[in-house]
Amino acid sequence: MSPWRRGGLSARELGVRVWAEISADEVLDRAAALSYYFLFALFPALLFLTTLIGLLPFPGLMDRLLAYADRMLPADAMSLLRTILAQVVGGAGGGLLSVGAAGALWGASRAIRSIVTALNVVYDVTTPRPWWRRQLVSLVLTVTFSLFTLAALLLVIFGERIGRTLADRAGLGGLFTATWSVLHWVAIAVFVLTALDLVYWLAPAVRARWHWLTPGSAFALATWLLTSLGLRLYVTHVGSYNATYGSIGGVILLLLWLYLGGVALLVGAEINAVIARAEAERRPPH
């Protein structure tokens, strides 16, 4: 059965069950734990990405990527990211790429293991996987999630240039270029949604059928984008974190942004888990 049929539940019934599960599984507290590990994974990953992009024969690529991030993050949090990244890159030695890669892999795998633990709670797993299998699943998820994320980032950076190159070589007109300027953002969303659905499918220790574009992954992506935009608008036009937190306002904002991402991820998992349980309830007994 397609997950979009909601297991036979109405939208209201689904919402009521998901809300009850959010409270029962302590999703908000678990999202706070995820934000802690996300923060540890963020800077090594940025360091590795900065070095990797620096090896490419295209000047100013990292600045373009940070400009896109500028549209999502509040100004104080973005300023903090730029400052710390500049300090880390400036103080690193010749082994920057290998050190960044090792740090990014360790941080990402630790974040993935915390996601696995949280999703086992969401799916009411009572018998977790053996130790060796947990490590294997974490490694597979870390590598595949990183690849999909890197592909999405490359499309963010090179998307318009790829469209212009294809149009020039194939003799296509401006209509293709204009269409591609929209389609490459669709492709970015496809990569991100696929990465999310892989996490929802592989992370919990339950048997489940693979579905692409589940209600949970769609909710997680849409909610993360909307909350990021809402946080930026709130800080810009309403809130004043500097007045409350002083010089650590940027740190607070960055942690809050990561926390909202963790909430979106876990609530998306709750939606898929509730639908899966509703489908199981509808199956006739063997």
The whole-model pTM stands at 0.81
Measured CA distances, 175 to 164, 168, 171, 186 (Å)? 11, 12, 11, 17
The residue whose two tokens read 């469209």 is: 163
**145 near 192, Cβ under 8 Å?**
no
The answer for residues whose C-beta is within 8 angstroms of residue 113's C-beta and 6 or more apart is 134, 138
Tell me how far apart the alpha carbons of residues 268 and 266 are, in angstroms, rounded to a whole number.
5
- Of the listed ranges 4-13, 63-72, 120-129, the least confidently predicted one is 63-72
**227 near 262, Cβ under 8 Å?**
no
Q: Is the pLDDT of residue 221 over 90?
A: yes
100-122: pLDDT as tens digits: 566 666 767 778 888 998 999 99
121-167: pLDDT as tens digits: 999 888 878 888 888 888 888 888 777 877 777 776 666 666 667 66
**How many CB atoms are located within 10 Å of the residue 208 CB?**
14
Domain boundaries, the chain: 10-282
The residue whose two tokens read 């990014």 is: 104
Tell me how far apart the alpha carbons of residues 274 and 72 are, in angstroms, rounded to a whole number.
30
**Cβ burial 9-43 (10 Å sphere, 16+ → b, else e):** beeeebeebbeebbeebebeebbeebbebbbbbbb
With left for phi above 0 and alpha for psi between -120 and 50, is residue 7 left, alpha or beta?
left
